[in-house]
Structure 1
Amino acid sequence: MNHQITASTCCYCGVGCGVLIEHDGERILGVSGDPAHPANFGKLCSKGSTLHLTGDPAARALYPELRLGKGLARSRTDWDTALDHAASVFAETIAEHGPDSVAFYISGQLLTEDYYSFNKLARALVRTNNIDSNSRLCMSSAVVGYKRSLGADAPPCNYEDLELSDCVMIVGSNMAYAHPILFRRLEEAKSRRPQMKVIVIDPRRTDTCDLADLHLAILPGTDVALFHGILHLLLWEDWVDRDFIKAHTQGLPELKSLVRDYTPQMVSQLCGISIEQLHQCAEWVGTSPSFLSLWCMGLNQSTAGSAKNSALINLHLATGQIGRPGAGPFSLTGQPNAMGGRETGSLSNLLPGHREAGNAEHRAQVAAYWGVDQLPEQTGLTAIELFEQVRSGKIKALWIACTNPAQSMPDQSAVRAALQACPFVVLQEAFRTTETAAFADLLLPAASWGEKEGTVTNSERRISHVRQAIVAPGETRSDWAITVDFAQRLEKHLRPGQDSLFAFDTPSQIFDEYKQLTRGRDLDLSGISHALIDRLGPQQWPFPEGASEGTARLYLDGIFPTANGRAQFVADPYRAAKEQRDARFPLTLITGRLRDQWHGMSRTGTAAQLFGHVSEAVLSLHPDELRRHRLQPGDLISLKSRRGAVIVPVDSDDSVRPGQAFLPMHWGDRFLKGGVNTLTQPAFDPLSKQPELKHSGVRLEPVHLPWQLFALIEGNVQQHFETLRPLCEAFSYTSLSIAGRERPALLIRAASAVAPDPQLLREIDRCLALNDGPVLAYDDPRRSIGKRVRIENGRITAIRLAGETLARHWLQNLWLEGRADEQLRRWLLAPLSAPPGQANASTVGSKTLCNCMNVSQGAVCAGIGRGLDLQGLKQELGCGTQCGSCVPEIKRLLAATAQPVAVVS
């Protein structure tokens, strides 16, 4: 076998880790971290290290599919037919209803060259600003914060600042889960310099809090009040840099007038923290030699997201903590190339090179460069507005690329209704399994990670070359190539006889055209090329022509890209989140991330290994809330908001405060009937237009679903998904996941108030291959209980429990262990429900604590029982020695078994 190694970049979060892809030219065989890449120096998280396991061919879109009428099935077609049809529909729609009757909704996972192609298509050819990105859901409030306060959308910091800072404030980010490689770097820095102060501001006590010297568990949505309260104390104690303020800023008098009212007493009450905590936080911010802030979705996904960003940046301007090592406001990007999208203008209000679509001079500059007479003046639709207009019928043709709005957008009932009503939906996507794929009239198969070339920009402004390792499978094409081909066909309708605007043959040609639009701008990329990155390695912008290296930090001279060179203090008052707790909806729902899943799980959801730590959607509630609602862990409840409801099991979790509930954001309708975003709200920030996905009013309602189903089947997981998921629509509650490493299997949990029609069970059994062959079965029709297990070559290959599922964990462990002993046979053939020798169904060993080394929680607990400490567990079991994401959980298990220490008061 011809093994090769190709250096490329991870396709998950905005850290931008370098990866080495092992392949044979046709298949990706493995992946490891690139020691030469400055973002990660060879380290990878649990998601990045399993990239090679996420390319399930059965989940891929491999050829174009076209539906010629609503209600009809799509059928396979060829590229010429597909793109000619799309060009004809778009041209006819534009001719009849105008350019703004069509729209493009694209993705932070696209490469910069893909982004640029789409922008030129929408604005120069179609003449619409209706092009927005899922980055609207991710980073748009950070964009507004940087621009209002500093003059440009440019994070000023460098990853080295995590190691150099004396005080690090992490706000609204479970960094240990969302950006684990950077968190490990921060962990190591603090272990070397214990005097470094770490402040974590988060309503929940997350794994990130384990590193904190101070955790401020503020009430959700009160960040602006907190930051104003900190500034109040900084001014009162004179912990400010008066020389910096005088020389480099403006607007402080107005802000001082505002924050005068944010007294410690008022802020303590608003935020739900003590006055002592507030004072400690302000003292560390104000007196530390260097102060760095890190934030993510907890600040951005809010109706006050722009105000939160600027209020945080105010603290840096007041203390002069910007433009030097270890200091500055540093947003952590959620997607691999959300930054590249912002650079190329891939939000409806932007143009390439950090220009504004609403600025006539900027429009003229871009139009002249592109060789068109003008660009559209009409304001483009942002994500929430776009889907509202799709639903109302104003948008009649919608092109979606590399994103899954039928999972990720808030208020899913409205979004799915919009997609269903839209006359023509094009989906350009690598995975045909996403929730959005069901709504596509035209499905265009895109190349995926490892199969395409281009560039991405990470959180520290560093541009990396994404290199192709293998030939793209089937008839898939790179996103830029699809866009350019479509654009050339559409030109024949809209610009007949004129030279093409899209004479591109390679992604490097596209980059070389795009970078000239940045020349002289704050993000000047004119000195960068694919070849230069290959020669010098990934580079930070600005990197103007003639430069020999990138720019590590911005604003070292205190001069900002504003009209007068001064940064702006922004005085926005605190405004509460849109939905507050009330009698009808007495709980606040917070959403967030899991350690081993990413976004809508279109990719990570194909790897069984990544379900080992958390296998299903579970609502986390404080023990007091469970008692108040008379619930036990594992009970199913209906979680209701003003927009919809989902049924989920509950769990006891004292990291969540009473009055709050936490649900991971990843679970869409594919894995959880209804999906989490059925609950979330479309209310958005007035400036950034970013929706408040983090904060919704909800209530719990009991459900009585005594009839339950558990099923497991090995083999082609995607095929089983396609046959079994539709059958599960009959149940009130359905949860699907994947288990196993060597032998992946589909797992199904479902529940209903009454037993289903026997024919449905027979159909499920047929799909599970349990109707004939080496199957052991027991049925009790009177109680609507049935058990079936298929045993081949001495081991279990399929299971179906109907009526009740007390033995499901026991059976799943037998399946994992590859054994089917006499104990199993006796249980199967007797009217017993609970597994032999067990009073309940739970088993501590079923959860995988360390995914990298496949170490279960049971093995860790057993090691602790033998007296092993953290180092001993690492040496004996290997846990915590790779990505390190499991270490905080292991430390909690160690602490839970430690002897209590007497406290003298």
Structure 2
Amino acid sequence: MSFPVIPITSAPARASVSTTCPYCGVGCGVRATPREDSQPDIAGDETHPSNFGRLCVKGSALGETVGLEGRLLEPKLRDARDGALHATSWDDALGTVANTFKRIIDQHGPDAVALYVSGQLLTEDYYVANKLMKGYIGSANIDTNSRLCMSSSVAGHKRAFGEDIVPVNYEDLELADLVVLVGSNTAWCHPILFQRVVKMKEKRPELKIVVIDPRYTATCEMADLHLPLKAGTDVNLFNGLLAFLSEHDTTDAAFVDAHTSGFDAALAATDGFDLSQTAKACKIDAHDLLEFYRLFARTERVVTVYSQGVNQSTAGTDKVNSIINCHLVTGRIGKPGMGPFSFTGQPNAMGGREVGGLANMLAAHLELDHPAHRELVQTFWDSPAIAERPGLKAVDLFNAMEEGRVKAVWIMGTNPVVSLPDGEQAKRALAKCELVVSSDITEDTDTNAFAHVLLPALGWGEKDGTVTNSERRVSRQRAFLPAPGKARADWRIICDVARRMGHAGFDFESVHEIFDEHARLSAHRNDDEGLPRAFNLGGLTGMDRERYDSLAPIQWPVFKHGDAGTPRLFEDKRYRHADGRARFIATPPRAPANAVDDDYPLVLNTGRVRDQWHTMTRTGKSAKLAGHIGEAFIDMHPQDALACGVREGELARVSSRWGSMVARVQHGGGMSRGSVFVPIHWNDQVASDARIGAVVNPAVDPVSGEPEFKHTPVAVEKFHVSWHGFALTRTAPLLDDITYWTRIQGTQLVRHEIAGRRHFEGTDDHREWARTALRVGDPHADWLEYEDRSAGVYRAVHVVDDRIESCVFLSDRPDLPARAWLSGLFGKDKLDDEDRIGLLLGQPIGKGVDTGPTVCSCFGVGRNTICAAIREKGLKTAAEVTSCLKAGGNCGSCVPELKKLIVETEMARLSTV
């Protein structure tokens, strides 16, 4: 037998290792080269078909994130007497988990325990966790944080196709003549795929890009048409498109008749389509809506990409099916350059779906509510039990914890106190739990504060296994770093607990053995009912360790040994429902679960920023990634800000019926009236009160169970402080009792943005306060100081051996000196006289240059540098900026911002003429 292989070297200490990026669902190939006593070199893998050597800024900065600062390096148990976590042995920690789980199951039944896992797990980890819970404990109470990002897509696929199948691949984005991006800021969230589309548009200008999004995002800069629909009206828009296609006879009637069912009911749900009424419901200009409908109708090769803006909704599953309906009615599926395409948010969200990581699924795309499927899996596993009904989905699971029905939970690789909606409820739930176990790489997280047992897991670069990306491509994650401290692989930890609970079937000695069992299950009795499941890894069974180690990226299904994989599905027009037909799904429009009112008049939308990831436990370590956006923010329309009594640059509080948070107001230019946007990443470890999950409403989609992160009624009000400031330090400052703070990682320093309500926290002696905050106890220290009490300004700098050690700048107003210039001084071995004078003045003098906030994180190019080059050299295009400054020349994520700066600089020039 033969398997696809790629050459790798693993023995030499400094050999380059091919692995896969741990961030978004694109699944980019990475080449990592370890270095002695320094961070590894990171480069894109030119041979990987997902990225062909390109990496976004997060991927490029991976080397900055693998240090051991903050790592959990040994098992810990919480002492009931002092409430503190103390180091313990693996034997004691695993015994505590196994014995407590077993006791609770014996006393209260298998549904009294649960696992909450993550798309950060590798497929092999996911597999044994699912096997333990569903096949040996006998409960389906295992859910994943992927519930929060793509479960609506899973449900929509299963309703339409009979199986959770993404039919298209990345090449289809380049073959399409129309790419529709719905609820996806692709330029920031999936930048490598976006750049593939942009490059194709440069090559073929006739390629059209349409963005459907309530916000004007960086993605819109490249679009031919932006439809800023009202949040929650996606179904109205695509129902209108379905009716328009039918009305104008641009359907594929032969395909619909021969290969689908349910069309009449789906069309009836469009409720007498009227273009003007649809435009009014969506708050879109009717001419723009008609332009999109006509463009879709006349373009054969259409790919519709959708992401969290579609999925994260109480109508998320209907949104997915309303999109799929439009592809089915035109027959634009299963052919090159066309089809619906779900972009997943996590590196292994797809792998988790393959092994049944969701509470309502079985492994290998088998159905939990299907008796024959349950029998198949239980027989294959030779397990003593099998879950007979769906388990608790994420939000319901945490409700059950608070109610006392779930008494023990094992959390793996995720931070639900930050990521779940109604985050305060998550805290209450964990506080009520008799046993909270957390397998993690980071010791201090918002969630781990509630853990009774901490288990140190391997992180990226240390662990070994497979992941599956958004186009069904299985790739290897390979270890290139040694296991730190006492950390272990997740799959090994799970197997150790399973064996201590008395369960057979977990005697795996190597990760490749787990993959083989996973692959064999996917092929086992696959055609029992005459309609094979698409998910099939039969061609990858029987691999020994060497073959597994050298496995090249490959797309499932892989039916036979030697197969090269399957790039595109449904080319045979056979779907996985019993009759072989795809299903149209009727999707009558429904309003979001919670409506705005006089108390909460604005709609909160949440999402990602370009250079951060999830709850920042990895990306927060990188100075490069912190340079673009350092603080949480509240983006809102200027007129809404005026009505709420807040100004740009000021702090404000966002409140809902569930909680509140504080961040700085900005006018990014992309918000429509009545809506605000807040990013998801900040948490209690890096900010005083910036956890937006505490604000988000807990309403969920009735089919998928996915929460509504895109539509929470909120109010915004001014957050009153009497002073503002920031501190730059080489060591952590003492900022106890500060009203507002955000921690930002810099190069050779840590930056804190701060503000207070009491005047300098209860003292008028600014020097005393500053010395205490900066940990300067020596009265003879080299101390530079400036104070203007009438202007409410204070500055202090601590210098050690002519090198800046720390500084603090305080003011009654939020406008403070530039941080980028000051941060640059920390890289100098010796301050000169001009530097010292500039520190007291609060601005660079002489040869000092303020480069401004970072725009291009890949090359560290600041806003001021870019604008100066545009003015002085007359740069007219982003390509010219790249040629001059390199900005935008790596991942391309900042190219939309470069284009915006070109326009703004030209407008500023014209205004002075």
- TM-score tier, shorter chain, comes to over 0.9
Q: CA separation in 1, counterparts of 2:859 and 2:648? A: 29
Call closer, same or farther: CA 1:746–1:443 in 2, change over 3 Å.
farther
Contact 1:755 1:803 in 2 (8 A): no
Change (3 A) 1:665 1:602: same
- How big is the shift at 1:711? 1.8
Aligned match of 2:755 in 741, 750, 755?
A: 750
Q: Which residue of 2 aligns with 1:606?
A: 621
Q: Work out whether residues 726 and 751 of structure 2, in 8 Å CA contact, stay in contact via their aligned partners in 1.
A: no
CA contact (8 A) 2:302 2:339 kept: yes
One-letter amino acid of the counterpart of residue 883, structure 2: Q
CA apart distance, 1:59: 1.6
**Which sits farther off after the overlay, 866-875 or 856-865?**
866-875
Give the Cα separation in 2 of the matches to 1:710 and 1:503. Answer: 54
Q: CA deviation at 1:395?
A: 1.4
The residue number in structure 2 matching 1:523 is 535
Q: CA deviation at 1:846?
A: 2.6
- Is 2:692 the counterpart of 1:676? yes
Q: TM-score, normalised by structure 2?
A: 0.92
C-alpha deviation, 1:753, in angstroms: 4.8
Would the aligned equivalents of 1:303 and 1:684 in 2 still touch at CA under 8 Å? Answer: yes
Q: Residue 418 of structure 2 aligns to a residue in which SS?
A: helix
Structure 1 residues 900, 648: closer, same or farther in 2, change over 3 A? closer
Please, which moves more after superposition, 798-807 or 661-670?
Answer: 798-807
1:691 has 2:696 as partner: no
- 1:836 and 1:85, CA in 2 relative to 1: closer, same or farther beyond 3 A? closer
CA RMSD of aligned residues (A): 2.5
Separation of aligned partners in 2, 1:796 and 1:807: 23
Matches within 5 A, 1:246-265: 246-265=257-276
From the superposition, tell whether residues 144 and 357 of structure 1 become closer, same or farther in structure 2 (CA, over 3 Å). Answer: same
2:783 to 772, 775, 783: 775
User: SS where residue 56 of structure 1 aligns?
Assistant: coil
Letter in 2 for 1:845: T
CA distance in 1 between partners of 2:685 and 2:621 (Å)? 12
Listed one character per residue, the Cα deviations across residues 86-111 of structure 1 (whole Å, up to 9, x for unaligned) are 11111121122221111100000100
Quote the offset at 1:770 in angstroms.
2.4
Alignment of 1:283-298 (within 5 A): 283-298=294-309
Partner amino acid, structure 1, of 2:108: H
Report what 1:861 is aligned to: 867
What's the offset of the Cα at 1:338? 0.5
Is 2:741 the partner of 1:734?
yes
Name the SS for the 1:403 alignment partner. coil
Aligned partner of residue 57 in structure 1, secondary structure: coil
1:472-530 per-residue CA deviation (whole Å, 9 max, x = no partner) reads 11111111111111111111xxx5xxxx2101010100111111221123201111256
Contact 2:153/2:311 (<8 A) preserved: yes
Q: Distance in 2 between matches of 1:815 and 1:119?
A: 47
The 2-side partners of 1:31 and 1:901 are apart by: 40
The DSSP-based 3-state class of the residue aligned with 2:332 is coil
Asked if structure 2 preserves the Cα contact closer than 8 Å seen for 1:770 and 1:789, the reply is no
Q: Structure 2 CA distance, aligned partners of 1:895 and 1:846? A: 18
Structure 1, unpaired ranges of 5+: none
8 Å CA contact 1:25–1:471 kept in 2: the answer is no
Most deviating of 791-800 and 614-623: 791-800
Corresponding residue of 1:501: 505
Per-residue deviation, 1:221: 0.7
Q: In 2, Cα distance between the equivalents of 1:536 and 1:397?
A: 38
Matches within 5 A, 1:442-841: 442-491=453-502, 500-519=504-523, 520=526, 521-528=533-540, 537-674=552-689, 675-715=691-731, 720=732, 724=734, 727-728=735-736, 730-740=737-747, 743-758=748-763, 765-766=771-772, 768-772=774-778, 773-777=781-785, 787-802=795-810, 804=812, 808-810=816-818, 813-817=821-825, 818=828, 820=831, 835=842
- The amino acid across from 1:140 in the alignment is S
Deviation at 1:335, TM superposition (A): 0.3
Cα pair 1:823 1:836 within 8 Å, conserved: no
What residue in structure 1 maps to residue 530 of structure 2?
Answer: none
Q: Using the alignment, how far apart are the partners of 1:874 and 1:783 within structure 2?
A: 42
Q: Percent identity?
A: 40
How many Å apart are 1:836 and its aligned residue?
Answer: 6.0
Unaligned 5+ segments in structure 2 are 1-11, 527-532
Deviation at residue 793 of structure 1 after TM alignment: 3.3
Match of 1:274 among 285, 299, 304: 285
Q: Write the deviation string for residues 732-776 of structure 1: whole angstroms up to 9, x where unpaired.
A: 322221223xx2323232332554245999798546322323333
Contact 1:60 1:431 survives alignment (8 Å): yes
- Alpha-carbon separation, structure 1, partners of 2:292 and 2:181: 12
Of the candidates 298, 320, 323, which is equivalent to residue 331 of structure 2?
Answer: 320
Q: CA deviation at 1:421?
A: 2.3
Question: How big is each residue's C-alpha offset from its partner over 1:653-675, in whole Å with a ceiling of 9 and x where there is no partner?
Answer: 22110111111111122223231
Return the letter of the residue paired with 2:696: T
Correspondence list, 1:15-164, <5 A: 15-24=26-35, 28-69=39-80, 72-164=83-175
Distance of aligned partners of 1:532 and 1:858 in 2 relative to their CA distance in 1, 3 Å threshold: same
- Relative to structure 1, is the Cα distance of residues 809 and 433 closer, same or farther in structure 2, using a 3 angstrom cutoff? farther
Q: Deviations over 1:193-226 (max 9, x none)?
A: 1111111100011111112111100001100000
**Deviation for aligned residue 1:2:** 4.8
Query: Aligned equivalents of 1:566 and 1:760: distance in 2?
Result: 77
Q: Matches of 2:494 and 2:377 in 1, distance apart?
A: 20
CA distance in 2, matches of 1:144, 1:836: 56
TM-fit CA distance, 1:71:
5.7
Determine the structure 1 residue equivalent to 2:405: 394
How far does residue 558 in structure 1 lie from its aligned partner after superposition?
Answer: 0.9
Aligned residues: 876
- Contact kept in structure 2, 1:777 and 1:828, CA below 8 Å: no
The CA deviation at 1:406 is 1.3
The more displaced of 284-293 and 532-541 is 532-541
Does 44-53 or 845-854 show the bigger shift? 845-854
Where does residue 231 of structure 1 map in the other structure? 242
| Paired residues of 1:27 and 1:470 also in contact (CA < 8 A) | no
2:820–2:851 contact (8 Å) kept in structure 1: no
CA deviations 1:368-418 (Å, max 9, x no partner) are: 111124312243111001111111222111100000101111111111121
- In the alignment, does 2:214 pair up with 1:203? yes
The Cα of 1:630 is off from its aligned counterpart by: 4.2
Q: Distance in 2 between matches of 1:901 and 1:235?
A: 50
The TM-score, its normalising length taken from structure 1, stands at 0.93
The equivalent of 2:395 in structure 1 is: 384
Q: Is contact 1:100–1:395 with CA below 8 Å preserved after alignment?
A: yes
**What is the distance in 2 between the residues matched to 1:886 and 1:233?**
37
CA distance in 2, matches of 1:763, 1:185: 53
- The aligned amino acid for 2:603 is T
Q: How does 1:872-891 map to 2 (within 5 A)?
A: 872-891=880-899
After superposition, residues 348-427 of structure 1 pair within 5 angstroms as 348-427=359-438
Q: For 1:678 and 1:5, how far apart are their aligned partners in 2? A: 43
**2:761 alignment partner AA:** P
Alignment check: 8 A CA contact 1:807 1:835 kept: no
